[in-house]
Every structure is written in structure tokens, then in C-alpha cells.
Amino acid sequence: MTPLEQLWNGWRATYVTSGGAAGGVAADDVTSGRGSVFTRILHSALPDVDTHIVHRGTHVFAILNAFPYAVGHVLVLPYREVGDLEALSADEAAELWSTVTATVVAVKGAYRPEGLNVGVNLGRPAGGSVSEHLHVHVVPRWTGDGNFMLATANTRTLPEPLPDTAAKLRSAWPVA
């Protein structure tokens, strides 16, 4: 299989020059002792608008995927760093799934996708890139969203910058 090629998107320069994530929190620094990339973002003291956190609850939060499969790709996860569903408290589990539902409502309201993928990768062999911090993916999908760029150049294109996506989702977030 050919590796995925990258298409230059100039608007991503700020992200790239910040060390791989908002505020210089690098995704591959899991051995630092400072926690997962998500934990480090939470403890960065940066405002949610800078970290692309679109919702905060009591036990969980929702954040844009920094490397989205599609525009509007959101991750929902507990504040507490756990890798397994069964390690969640009852309160964390209940809020996690209600927040996944709210995320689906927000994504549908903001983007009107034809479908959605909702899923969890548990463990590195299952595709969990940050397997020590459980997270649920909510990915909007459209017929043909894997266009010719993906088929011929193995490259994904994204039509809008993350701050714009975050603003749209915050505006579409259901009122509790």
C-alpha cells in the first residue's frame, strides 16, 4: 500500500510551526510523563478557542481531531486518562455517550452530512493512535467524500481551517 501523500494547505502553517498541536503539545510525546496529548492540551491553560475544544462537560469534553478524516471530525473523551471502556466510572460512561449523541446532533446541524461514522479504537493494534486515552470518533461522511485526490494521489483534502470548524460546531451544539 502506498503511504498517504500530503497536500500543502497554507492555512495549516500555524499548526505545523506550533510543534504539532496547539501550544506546542506534540502528539507523539507519550513517554514524557506529562500524559497523553489530550491531557497535555487540557493542562496547557490555553483557551478552548486555541485548542479547538468545542464542548466541556463535568467528566468529558469534545475536541476537533487535529488530523481529521473529514471536516467536522470530533473526538469525545473523558478528562481522566484511561485506555479502556471498562475503566470508566459510571458517571464518565454515561456522560461520554450522551456527549457523543450531542456531538452527532452538532455535526448534523453544522454540516448536514449524509451519514456519520462513530467509533472507538481500543488499543494500538486496533488503530488507537493515542491508546492510553480513550476517545470516541464522530466523523461526518458524504457520498463520494473519498474523491479523486484520495483515489489517484492517496491524498485527503480539507476545505476549511480548524478554527472555522470549531466555531460552527460550538454554534450548533445542542442546549442541555
Q: Which residues are catalytic?
A: 135
Chain-centroid distance of CA 150 in Å reads: 20
Residue 65, C-alpha cell as written in the block: 481531531
CB 158 within 8 A of CB 71: yes
If one counts every other C-beta atom within 10 angstroms of the C-beta of residue 73, the result is 20
Question: What whole-number distance in Å separates Cα of residue 35 and Cα of residue 24?
Answer: 14
- Return the H-helix or E-strand segment holding 109: helix 90-111
Helix (H, G, I), strand (E, B) or coil at 141: strand
Helix (H, G, I), strand (E, B) or coil at 72: coil
